[in-house]
Amino acid sequence: MPATSANLGPGFDAFGLALGLYDELTVTPAPSISVEVTGAGAGEVALDESHLVVRALRAGLEALGVSVPGFVLRCENRVPHGRGLGSSSAAIVGGIAAAYGLAAMELDREHVVALANELEGHPDNVAAAALGGFTTAWVDGGVGRAVRNDPVAGLRATVYVPEVKVLTKQARGLLPDVVPHADAAANAGRAALLVTAITSRPGLLLTATEDRLHQEYREPVMPETLALVHKLRGSGLAAVVSGAGPTVLVLDALSGKEIAALPAAPDGWTRLDLAIDPAGVQVWSGSVSTETTSARSDDETL
């Protein structure tokens, strides 16, 4: 399952982008449930039925009408937790995809988005994790839906990840119930422009990623994040808060040499230069992942 970045500036709760950084699950049928976690979240997340992947997997099996007594779940996590890179959405989408694997059924990505939205509460990140590429998500009659677009060739993402975490609930709690009409209108225009910028005209990214709806309201819980966004944008880079933060995302269509010349991460931060994931979650008979190199078709895991 890929990491994801939501909002992308003006596309609050609507836009998502799948990134080339992956969690991998391996699920093996067993008489009871056991969970093993390595990488991000190891030693922190629950290792029982309350684990988010387990809950999503159970929900997926129930939706598919399949009963499985238990399984061994192995999670190799590379997506940082609590940083605005969609770790919970990756877990939910991965769990549902694993249910399809256990049921030996072809993955229905529209159903994955709908069910994942029920578990997550909003469809922006789960849509990108399920479909890959650049997605626009919405809720229609209570059902999460999404469409996918191919980003322009060469589009890449650079993320600046701080050591500190920010809870999504905390960041969303700072948003006002009412915003000025002018700000809402400005964001609508920038969001429409961002679709063009990401899919065909990357030269418009700086203008298209301007936001007046949510980022500045989050500043009290992530002042260093907003300071970095302002600094990068002041130098001409299309920088935004990734999801609910505190990670900063820069979108560009630069050459490898130009990417290498981007600013280094501040002290206490990590910079990752990532491709855009084109496919979303993948299921093999050997594993659930988005990395074809991890598929293991010669064992019994799903």
Per the annotation, binding residues for ATP are 80-90
Q: Per the annotation, where are the binding residues?
A: 80-90
Round to the nearest angstrom and report the end-to-end CA distance of the chain: 14
Burial of 65: CB neighbours in 10 Å, binned 0-12, 13-18, 19+ = exposed
Structure tokens at 233: 């944008």
In whole angstroms, how far apart are CA 128 and each of 7, 36, 50, 289? Answer: 11, 26, 24, 14
Q: Give CA–CA dist 242/249, Å, rounded.
A: 5
Closest among 218, 122, 210 to 176, alpha carbons compared? 218
Q: Give CA–CA dist 118/14, Å, rounded.
A: 15
Residues 6+ apart with CB under 8 A from 57: 27, 71, 73, 95, 96, 98, 99, 102
